[in-house]
Structure 1
Amino acid sequence: MTNQSEGAKISHRSTKEKDQLINRLKRIEGQVRGIQKMIEDDRYCVDILVQISAINAALKKVSLHLLERHTHHCVSDAIKNGEGEEAIQELMEVFERFSKS
């Protein structure tokens, strides 16, 4: 099996789903810019930390969505094609990285 990052990538993702993910990421990008401005404006540390927490939660939501899609499509397809062991190993490595955050 080739590395999934070289394979199908987003072929299972609909245009609507891609647009939703991109919009979420743009909102997160705006939140990050907001934090930069808060720091420039010497805003209260706790307010900044609250915003950082919100960004972390939003990124985690995007990550979980992508992980779910990957499992339902890429891993499932690999199993059907007899490449399940490699796909499951890769998925477990992703879980390990994800659990460290």
Structure 2
Amino acid sequence: MTDTKEQNTAEPTAPHCPTDSAHLCMPDDARKRARHRLSIARGHLESIVKMLEKEDAYCVDVLRQIKAVQGALSGAADVVLRGHLEAHVATAADRGDTVEIVEELMEALRYRS
């Protein structure tokens, strides 16, 4: 049996990640919302592919649908970023991994368009 002092000095458990306490996971709400937005993007993308199978596909209509896919993808990225900021960046000081989280966030932001 461990004493109370040992238990209190243990590594803080990562939020939202029941299987691995050393790993930070995406918050459930953000994951579900991002998945929904990506499903929308997939639907739009499938409609574009079907449009292009027809000989009478109109360029501007295809471009509009492509823009809709880009918007859905951007919305999904915003959801994921907000979840990361709220669940992990805002709590980094409590966990003691501020430097690592800032470096990780800077790396992730390189992929934003």
> Does TM, normalized by the shorter one, top 0.5?
yes
Q: Which has the higher helix share?
A: 1
Structure 1 residue identity aligned to 2:83: R
Contact 1:79 1:87 in 2 (8 A): no
1:95 deviation in Å?
A: 1.2
Identical-pair percentage: 31
Paired with 1:65 and 1:41, the residues of 2 have a C-alpha distance of 34
- Kept in 2, the 8 Å contact 1:75–1:88? The answer is yes
**1:57 alignment partner, one of 37, 58, 71:** 71
The structural deviation recorded for 1:87 is 0.3
Alpha-carbon distance in 2 for matches of 1:86, 1:21: 24
Query: Is 1:23 the counterpart of 2:39 in the alignment?
Result: no
Question: Aligned to 2:45, which of 32, 37, 44?
Answer: 32
* 1:88 aligned partner, one-letter code: V
Report the AA paired with residue 24 of structure 2.
Answer: A
User: Secondary structure of the residue that 1:93 maps to in structure 2?
Assistant: helix
Give the corresponding residue for 1:68.
Answer: 82
Hey, which bits of structure 1, 4+ residues long, moved more than 6 A? none
TM-score, length-scaled by structure 2: 0.71
CA RMSD, 1 decimal: 1.8
Q: Say which one has the larger Rg.
A: 2
Quote how far apart the aligned CAs of 1:13 are.
2.0
Structure 2 gaps, min length 5: 1-21
Equivalenced residue count is 91
Query: Counterparts of 2:96 and 2:31 in 1: how far apart (Å)?
Result: 28
